A and B are shown apart, each in its own frame.
Chain A
Amino acid sequence: MSEFEKEEKIKAGLEAKFPGAVTNALVQRKNRVWLDAAGEKLPEILAWMKAGGFNHLATVTGFDEGENLGAYYHMTDTKIIVTLKVKTPRANPSIPSVLSVFPGAVSYEKELEDMLGIKVQGLPPGRRYPLAEDFPVGQYPLRKDWKTEDYLAQQPSLKTETK
């Protein structure tokens, strides 16, 4: 596949550097690389990629796949987006923080904690974001089993008024 030379190089480089930790690498199309990464190696992989020019963590997308929760880390060197998929078991979801590599990622990681209930290890405590302060603890709206209707039914103060 000489068509996507640069993308293949990045993929090969990652696979060679982190054998076992990087799996299922795929060049989806021009400028898009997808791969699965092992959670415990995440900060290390990001630091290595950052040194190699991928100095922008565009965002972190949390997901819920049923038995696994997890997050996509969208890294870019402004041209190529490399998306690292990190999975963590639903029973005890936990991902190491990447703040040591990308200090700007703090709001993305807070969002993971607040919206999906994934414990981000190493995230400094602080005011919750993005949910309101009085939002019930232990409810994670972006999980698939969380239903808006159920939440509204639980909240007596949010009784629907129809005129």
Chain B
Amino acid sequence: MSKITIPFGPQHPALKEPENFMLVLEGEQITSAGINLGYNHRGMEKAAEGRTYIQNLYLIERVCGICSHSHTTTYITNVEELAKAEVPQRALAIRTLFAELERVHSHLLWLGVAGYEMGFETLFMYTWRDREQVLDCLELLSGNRVHYSINTLGGVRRDITAEQKAEVLKRIKYLEERTQYYIKLATQEPTVLARTANVGKLPYDVAIERGAVGPTARASGVARDVRKDDPYLLYAQLDFNLITHNTNDVFGRLVVRALELVESYKIINQVLNNLPEGPVAVKVPMKVAPGECVNHYEAPRGEDIHYLKSNGTDKPERLKVRAPTLANLQSVAYMLEGGWLADVPLVIAAIDPCMSCTDRAAVWNPKKGKTEVYSWEEMRKLGIEQYKRRGVDFSRL
């Protein structure tokens, strides 16, 4: 049979974000796969150099919709390290709480996406319904469902009240029960097993070689978790397990994520029941002394690493963001080759790709299809006008 080249993206129903895989098929089997990236560049690293540390906090939050807390926490840890700020324990606890809520939200989302990609829409509908519970928790605590903006220089912006704590604990209890059901479902349903077992194999040594991180690496038996290896926030004091699995396939990634959910609930319970007393933020000067530092963080998708260099002003000299997906994408090409076309969406989804995290860099992106670029000031003006028409006036704020 002759070979067919199938473009998988940049626009494709299985991909939520633009990326491109060129698949060469022989019948139903893939003989080679190439990955093209860069459709999503927003120029954040360059943009960060022109903004103050506090402005950057909100820019960095928008690196990714799902792991917004991961990126800001990594960034803020860097800034606070350079500024030598002593962050209060209560603030660290609240950051830890948000980090874990975010992990729960991300993993539930992934479970649904995996269900959708393998054509199991019921799983998708169920997990996304339950994910609303954790989104409600986040909204209750921070006021926002996705971009929580809880971090600020020197601490967090909001405290947690006793009622909020009780409400979150209640919802987490419900989610614990549901997660047990999903674990049962994922490990026993025959069609799920048929679709995930022995699919997208990534052996231990290849995972190391290609620099896989997060659940993708852990499902290949690589015991790599920044929370354990280089504890940040409060993780050194918390009791939780590092989950690994040795099947090296999509099934392993499913199991790792499902079990990590259980660990996250454990952490959330521990943090909420032992919240340290005290203030939630300290004041940090706007100007940061010259220096450089690098910090990593276990985002839901894997290791997120930021490098920050300050030059004594209130703006960073250089900020580098490496999101987990970029590290994992090199493994995807390996996993795809020799597999079935039908498994492509699932294998790609199994690393939980986040292209908007991965692609950031140079220029302001022209608006899709149209060649017009709005400058920051114009965008601001447009936004204010738009809301004015709706009866809200932000210009006086």
Q: Identify the A interface with B (CB < 8 A).
A: 28, 31-32, 34, 55-59, 61-64, 72, 74, 76, 78-81, 83, 102-108, 111, 115, 127-132, 135, 141-142, 148, 151-152, 157-163
Contact of A61 among B320, B330, B372 (CB under 8 A): B320
Contact of A148 among B43, B212, B224, B229 (CB under 8 A): B43
Interface stretch, picked from B104-112, B274-282, B361-369, is B361-369
Q: Which residues in A have their C-beta under 8 angstroms from that of B2?
A: none
Interface size class of B (residues with CB under 8 A): 35 or more
Residue of B nearest to A31 (CB): B230
Q: Identify the B interface with A (CB < 8 A).
A: 36-38, 41, 43, 45-46, 208-213, 224, 226, 229-230, 292-294, 296, 303, 305, 307, 309, 318, 320, 322, 326-327, 329-331, 359-364, 366, 371-375, 378, 381-382
On whether A160 and B309 interact (CB within 8 A), knowing A105-B211, A141-B46, the answer reads: no
The answer to whether A59 and B305 have CB atoms under 8 Å apart is yes
Contact of B209 among A103, A107, A131, A157 (CB under 8 A): A103
Contact of A142 among B322, B362, B373 (CB under 8 A): B362
The answer to whether B361 and A56 have CB atoms under 8 Å apart is no
In the A-B complex, list the 4 residue pairs whose CB atoms are closest, starting with the nearest: A141-B362, A59-B322, A104-B211, A104-B210
Dominant secondary structure of chain A at its interface with chain B: mixed
Supply 26 A–B pairs (Cβ within 8 Å), ascending by A.
A55-B208, A56-B211, A56-B213, A57-B211, A61-B307, A61-B318, A62-B320, A72-B294, A78-B224, A78-B229, A80-B230, A81-B294, A103-B330, A104-B330, A107-B329, A107-B330, A108-B326, A129-B36, A130-B38, A130-B361, A131-B41, A141-B363, A142-B46, A158-B371, A160-B374, A163-B382
Please give the distance in Å from A57's CB to the nearest CB on chain B.
6
CA distance A142 to B50 in the complex (A): 12
The answer to whether B294 and A148 have CB atoms under 8 Å apart is no
CA distance A74 to B378 in the complex (A): 38
Contact of A130 among B230, B322, B359 (CB under 8 A): B359
Contact of A161 among B211, B293, B318, B372 (CB under 8 A): B372
Q: Which residues in A have their C-beta under 8 angstroms from that of B331?
A: 104
The answer to whether B305 and A28 have CB atoms under 8 Å apart is no
The answer to whether B37 and A104 have CB atoms under 8 Å apart is no
On whether A81 and B296 interact (CB within 8 A), knowing A63-B318, A130-B37, A142-B45, the answer reads: yes
On whether A74 and B43 interact (CB within 8 A), knowing A63-B318, A141-B361, A163-B382, the answer reads: no
The answer to whether B322 and A115 have CB atoms under 8 Å apart is no
The answer to whether B327 and A76 have CB atoms under 8 Å apart is no
CA distance A25 to B327 in the complex (A): 27
Q: Which residues in A have their C-beta under 8 angstroms from that of B374?
A: 160, 162
On whether A158 and B320 interact (CB within 8 A), knowing A115-B362, A141-B362, the answer reads: no
Residue of A nearest to B373 (CB): A158
The answer to whether A83 and B209 have CB atoms under 8 Å apart is no
Residue of A nearest to B364 (CB): A148
The answer to whether B318 and A157 have CB atoms under 8 Å apart is no
Q: Which residues in B have their C-beta under 8 angstroms from that of A104?
A: 209-212, 327, 330-331
Q: Which residues in B have their C-beta under 8 angstroms from that of A131?
A: 38, 41, 361-363
Residue of A nearest to B381 (CB): A162
CA distance A105 to B326 in the complex (A): 10
On whether A151 and B363 interact (CB within 8 A), knowing A132-B38, A158-B371, the answer reads: yes
Residue of A nearest to B81 (CB): A29
Contact of A127 among B36, B229, B371, B373 (CB under 8 A): B36
CA distance A33 to B362 in the complex (A): 29
Q: Which residues in B have their C-beta under 8 angstroms from that of A141?
A: 43, 46, 361-363
Contact of B305 among A55, A74, A111 (CB under 8 A): A74
Residue of B nearest to A59 (CB): B322
CA distance A84 to B41 in the complex (A): 27
Residue of A nearest to B212 (CB): A104
The answer to whether A148 and B361 have CB atoms under 8 Å apart is no
Residue of B nearest to A77 (CB): B229
The answer to whether A79 and B211 have CB atoms under 8 Å apart is no
On whether A152 and B373 interact (CB within 8 A), knowing A81-B296, A142-B45, the answer reads: yes
The answer to whether B327 and A162 have CB atoms under 8 Å apart is no
CA distance A11 to B373 in the complex (A): 48
Please give the distance in Å from A108's CB to the nearest CB on chain B.
8
Q: Which residues in A have their C-beta under 8 angstroms from that of B303?
A: 58
The answer to whether A135 and B363 have CB atoms under 8 Å apart is yes
Contact of A56 among B224, B362, B375 (CB under 8 A): B224
The answer to whether B38 and A129 have CB atoms under 8 Å apart is yes
Q: Which residues in A have their C-beta under 8 angstroms from that of B381?
A: 162
CA distance A66 to B24 in the complex (A): 45
Q: Which residues in B have their C-beta under 8 angstroms from that of A102?
A: 209, 211
Contact of A79 among B46, B210, B229, B294 (CB under 8 A): B229
Q: Which residues in A have their C-beta under 8 angstroms from that of B373?
A: 152, 158, 160
Q: Give 12 new A-B contacts, CB below 8 A, not counting A56-B208, A159-B371, A162-B381.
A: A28-B293, A58-B296, A59-B322, A59-B326, A61-B320, A81-B296, A104-B330, A107-B37, A108-B322, A108-B326, A130-B359, A142-B361
The answer to whether A158 and B296 have CB atoms under 8 Å apart is no
